[in-house]
Amino acid sequence: MFDKISAPSITIKQAIDIIKSNTKKGSTQLNHLFDSQTSRELINDEELYYKSGSNFYSLKRKSIINNLSNKEAVSIYKGKFNDNCRDLMLKSEEFQSCPVCDGPYYPLTLDHVLPKSEFTQFALTPINIVPLCWNCNKRKGEYVGLDYERSSFNPYFEDFSSLSGITIDVEFLDSYPRFKPKILYSKEVEPKLKNLLHIYGMDSFLEGKAAKKIKNIIKKYSDLRKISSSRKLKKFLEKRKKLEEKNIWKTLFQHLIDKTDEFSECINRNNTIV
């Protein structure tokens, strides 16, 4: 989750050259892109992007680059860029899973870290275009952020994969769903990571994942011992003199941490249930 990936294999100059070599008859918008002044400006802006690194959020919005309008740049991205450069952007073997959620790419999309609707100069710039799964792309939307701590994620520059300082606490309830995992942030958690989890919806994603895991392990355990209801579970725990807690689900959970390797394994890794 929030993994760093290798920089794209092509630059804006190469992207323009590839589009040019695959264009027989240039339209007005393509001629605006191929204009030497436009190319020069796009190359300069790309250099600024590389220099900014994880401060990419501070780059200024531009609505037009020389004579290339935003509408034209976006249209070239959706057409010629997608047709000719998309595969080159994705040829790395690294792109097997989404750098934000670690999930499989279904479907694989390309996301503009700085939205193409506002940053014309980066609508076709590979360093601003990252492979994300459809869900993460959708959750992030047009988000930019005002400062470093509140900015979005560019996996070409940044790495928050240690998820350092994040744990999941489990609250036990008497009513259904009986337990509620809740993400906890210790003081050592970087504010930017905390914000990223929120922007991309990874906080509720982790809580959901933990809930699913707990549910599966409890189900497996209960099936094995033929515990089909809360009443039977209570009896089962009473028999084993395990019922020190009022909440039977909390008791079972604690019992399982001691007894189930699978459970302790997933709790011990980074001290999180993931």
Give, as one character, the DSSP assignment of residue 26.
-
Contacts with Zn ion, 55-94, as mask; x by CB under 5 A:
----------------------------------------
One of 12, 89, 98, 124 touching Zn ion (CB under 5 A): 98
Does residue number 130 form part of the binding site for Zn ion (CB under 5 A)? no
- The single residue among 42, 74, 100, 217 that binds Zn ion, judged by CB under 5 A, is 100
Return all residues near 55 (Cβ < 8 A) that are at least 6 apart: 148
Stretch that binds Zn ion, among 125-133, 152-160, 171-179, 202-210 (CB under 5 A): 125-133
First to last CA, the chain: 11
Element (H, E) at 226: none
Contact, 230 vs 176, CB < 8 A? Answer: no
Nearer of residues 98 and 199 to Zn ion, judged by Cβ? 98
**Residue 57 to residue 62: CA distance in whole angstroms:** 13
Would you say 100 or 237 has its CB closer to Zn ion?
A: 100
Distance in angstroms (rounded) separating the CA atoms of residues 216 and 51: 47
Closer to Zn ion by Cβ: residue 136 or 211: 136
Taking CB under 5 A as the binding criterion, the range among 41-49, 97-105, 146-154, 158-166 that sits at the site for Zn ion is 97-105
Residue from the set 130, 133, 168, 197 that interacts with Zn ion by CB under 5 A:
133
CB 127 within 8 A of CB 7: yes
Q: Give the C-alpha separation, 207 to 211, whole Å.
A: 6
Please say which residue, 33 or 113, places its beta carbon nearer to Zn ion.
113
Q: Which residues bind Zn ion (CB under 5 A)?
A: 98, 100-101, 133, 136
